[in-house]
Amino acid sequence: MSTQFIRVADVMQTSLHTVNGLASVQHALEQMGRENVSSLVVERRDENDEYGVITVQDIAAEVVSSDLSVDRVSIYQIMTKPALTLSADMNVRYAIRLLSRFGLTRALVTRGRKLEGLVTLRDLVLSGDDFKEITKPS
């Protein structure tokens, strides 16, 4: 007997906003503002590379608080790479545990090596699943 569960793919955002890692942090800020998002997926350089992520929090912690110039710092210098990826078929319960364990608020969603979307902890928790039975793994 199998129980029904919500998959990460059911709650992920499929509209991805990407940026080149060689671009300046100023470029990332402008793009985030235009697209009204707080993170961008950093494109892979080739098929053997991994995706990265840059967030407003990264910019605040690494550039603004250090009084560096957003025009002179490149995205690749402060991005998170490799970005945490979750399987599109993963149960949201396990995705929540994984993000929480690493203190992260978002992850990329993949199916094999193909990027499918992005999911946030908020998306996962508000997905409507009944979480009263979540327990710590044994």
What is the spatial distance between Cα 100 and Cα 50, in angstroms, rounded to a whole number? 22
**109 HSE (CA, 13 A, CB side):** 25
Per-residue pLDDT of the chain (138 residues), as tens digits, is: 456 789 999 999 999 999 999 999 999 999 999 999 999 999 999 989 999 999 999 999 999 999 999 999 999 999 999 999 999 999 999 999 999 999 999 999 999 889 999 999 999 999 865 555 544 454
Please tell me whether the overall predicted TM-score, pTM, comes out greater than 0.95 for this model.
no
- CB distance 97 to 84 below 8 Å: no
Question: Which domains are present in the chain?
Answer: 8-125 (3.10.580.10)
Residue pLDDT, tens place only, 7-31: 999 999 999 999 999 999 999 999 9
Phi/psi of residue 68, each to 5°? -95, 160
